[in-house]
Structure 1
Amino acid sequence: MGKGGRVACIITPYLLTIATLICIIFVALGCTKSSSSTLNNIYFIRVDLRNIDNGTKTDSEIEDILNEFHITSVNSSDVKDIVDQLASNEKDSEIKEFYDIGLWGYCDGDVRDGKFETTDCTKPKGEFYFDPISVWHLDSTSIKDELPDDYNKIMKVYKAVSKWMSIAYIIAFITTVIEILVGFFAICSRWGSCVTTLFAVTGFIFTTAASVTATVLFSVFKGSLTHTLEAYGIKLHMGKNIYAATWLAVAFSLASTIFWVFSVCCCSGRSPYNHSNKPRGRGLTAEKAPYTYEPLGAGAQPFGHHDSTAYPPASANSYPMTNQQPHASPYEPFRHS
């Protein structure tokens, strides 16, 4: 297969690698620009605070919720104090009605006519994690002492896993970019495909690891805190677009890795018609066509020159089919069967 076939063999994994990079970029750009409705809808989890209002739930209602889900680390009076403080901060515009958590930051806003309208987004920050106490301006109060015992444990795990998740996405992004750059050299030889495959495998591992981490982290986060936060009037909603983007990145990365491996084993860039690539000593050998005459050696005489010593006359018994003796010639006579 020649260079044209080699290019056709490389273009498929190359396009799949570009698709992987685009999906990773979408994940990274989620919740980074308040004016973009597209990027605002790319979030891992949404914290809905619309039901926080002073006096929304009585002590008995809160106690029923705590008993229903076997929450013993807090009592109804502590929950009531936290709800009152959150409601007061919300009225003072210190707390928004919802918060969307992305990879590098979060966006907040209010709900108008049933639509979530983003008003502000934080600046992107490496190793970001969402700290409700700081964001909701509760760090200067005694609310931290009234939080459930499991809160600090969950936030400690969330902070550590979020750090690893950010690093995994960064490595996946870098290796995918290198994969695209090195992929140019894969057109020239299988060695280029081999090097590209190494980066493809690395990118696939970290893209998958980051996607699994994000999915498991926020699923567990939502599952473990949903019942507890319900007592405070807080609801959690998982995003859809960001998970679709990150798992599409995994699918594209896997497909590109498979095709890069295929390009190492097959699709050579050498042309079968290029004889300069053949080893020395194995040139083409011309074969003689049947019934052809070859010139005699150095002793051959020119045509028409008679030399009785070179070709003695043949006996009559040698030619039974004719009475005439053949004429001497510097070429071999025609042999009759």
Structure 2
Amino acid sequence: MGKLGRFACIFVPMALSIASLVCLILVFSGQLNKNMSLQNDLYFFKADTSEFTENPDLGAIDDLADKVDIDNDILNALQNAASAKDLMDFYKVGLWNYCEGETDDKDKETVTRCSERKANYWFNPIDEWDLEGTAVQKIFSDKDFKDGLDAYKKVSKWMFTAYIIALCLTIAEIIVGIFAIFSRWGSLATTIVSSAQTVFIMAAAITSTALYASLVAIFESFFKPYNIKASLGSKMLAVLWLGVAFSIASGFFWLISVCCCSGKSPHKKVVVEKTPYTYERVASPYLGASGNNNAHNAPAAGHSTSGSAYEPYRQV
């Protein structure tokens, strides 16, 4: 098969590596452009405030009041934010920023603004909803909520770093994979890079899923009485975990390419050399120099072929 076979052998892992890269790029692009529907649909976390109510569930508020004396400060703060149009209908959180917008009567969402892009971004509802100095901030100071948000803030930095490293390693995997066409050593180097890439993309995926699931729980725990809903972005997580699957599969096939498809042609001319100290037939001395290998088949004149006749050999 030769080089053509070698190319065919690495085509599958290379295609899987490129697919994993595409998934990562989609994750990075979520919420970066308010005018593109694909990017608007890709988010980790969504806060839906379109059904915000000024008549909250008093029983649920009483549960919160056991922790903090909130009176009506949360309601007043949210009412003020809504009347000042600071409280939009929804907030979608991506890797770099968040986007906000409005929902019409047919539940069609229109993104009106996206925040500034930042590395290590995390969504802080107190700042975004202008709730500074209200009872909401007091609730965030409560140990349960404060610990949850502090963990979200800290882990988001590690998560962002893991995504950056995974992206760089995916690009490196594709570049190094080109050299795998020529030898198994190239496949070995690519397998090592692919293994590291799989570790980081899995770490990023696990962290994102757990982190934003916790954030949903935090929002549900004290904003639910005001009919503010929180949810995970199923499309973003689906793309992310699909990228993880592609990464694992590519690493497996890169490993196989180390053991198979050497790239050397199986059809090579075999040269057989004579071994030393062997014997070969020579011309009969009775026939002179013109004798050939078949001389022993014709007896020389005056000599009998019976008895002790012999055929001469030479040592080489």
What is the TM-score with the length of structure 1 in the denominator?
A: 0.80
Partner of 1:119: 112
Q: Which residue of 2 aligns with 1:257?
A: 251
Q: Are 1:103 and 2:95 counterparts?
A: yes
Match of 1:186 in 2: 180
**What's 2:55 paired with?**
56
Could you tell me which of 58, 63, 73 is aligned with 1:81? Answer: 73
Structure 1 residue 274 displacement after superposition: 3.8
Residue 297 of structure 2 corresponds to: none
Which residue is equivalent to 1:174? 168
Distance verdict in 2 for CA 1:163–1:83, change over 3 Å: same
Cα offset, 1:76, TM superposition: 5.2
Question: Runs of 4 or more off by more than 4 Å in structure 1?
Answer: none
DSSP-derived class of the 1:100 partner: strand
- CA shift for structure 1 position 243: 0.5
Q: Shift in Å at residue 22 of structure 1?
A: 0.3
Closer/same/farther in 2, CA of residues 17 and 151 from structure 1, 3 Å limit? same
* 1:17 and 2:9 correspond: no
Which of 47, 60, 64 lines up with 1:65 in the alignment?
60
Does the alignment pair 1:313 with 2:313? no
* Aligned positions of 1:288-307 closer than 5 A: 296=283, 300-302=288-290
Unaligned runs of 5+ in 2: 293-299, 312-316
Asked if the contact 1:71/1:228 (under 8 Å) is kept, the reply is no
- Whether the 8 Å CA contact 1:47–1:237 is kept in 2: the answer is yes
SS in structure 1 at match of 2:151:
helix
- Residue 198 (structure 2) pairs with residue 204 (structure 1): yes
User: Counterpart of 1:245?
Assistant: 239
Equivalent position amino acid for 1:245 in 2: V
CA drift of 1:28 comes to 0.7
**How many angstroms apart in 2 are the aligned matches of 1:266 and 1:230?**
58
How big is each residue's C-alpha offset from its partner over 1:186-243, in whole Å with a ceiling of 9 and x where there is no partner?
Answer: 0000110011011100111111110011111111221243132112332101111100
CA distance change for structure 1 residues 179 and 314 in 2, over 3 Å: closer, same or farther? Answer: same
- CA offsets per residue over residues 101-145 of structure 1, 9 Å max, x none? 111110000111211211111232111000111111223x34455
Please state whether the residue corresponding to 1:85 is helix, strand or coil: helix
Do 1:52 and 1:87's aligned partners in 2 also have CA atoms closer than 8 Å?
A: no
* Structure 1: runs of 5 or more not aligned: 276-281, 288-292, 305-310, 319-331, 333-337
| Equivalent of residue 92 in structure 1, options 84, 90, 107 | 84
- Partner-residue secondary structure (3-state), 2:189: helix
Deviations along 1:53-78, one digit per CA (max 9) or x if unpaired, are 4x323xxx42x1145x677312451x
Name the residue aligned to 1:328: none
1:316 shift after superposition: 8.0
Equivalent position amino acid for 2:77 in 1: Q
- Alpha-carbon shift at residue 26 of structure 1 (Å): 0.6
| Residues 1:47 and 1:314: Cα distance change in structure 2 (over 3 Å) | same
- Aligned equivalents of 1:198 and 1:265: distance in 2? 14
What amino acid does structure 2 have at the position aligned with 1:160? K
**How far apart, in 2, do the equivalents of 1:248 and 1:41 lie?**
16
Q: Relative to structure 1, is the Cα distance of residues 286 and 271 closer, same or farther in structure 2, using a 3 angstrom cutoff?
A: farther
Q: Structure 2 length as normaliser, TM-score?
A: 0.85
Contact 2:64 2:222 (C-alpha < 8 Å) held by counterparts: no
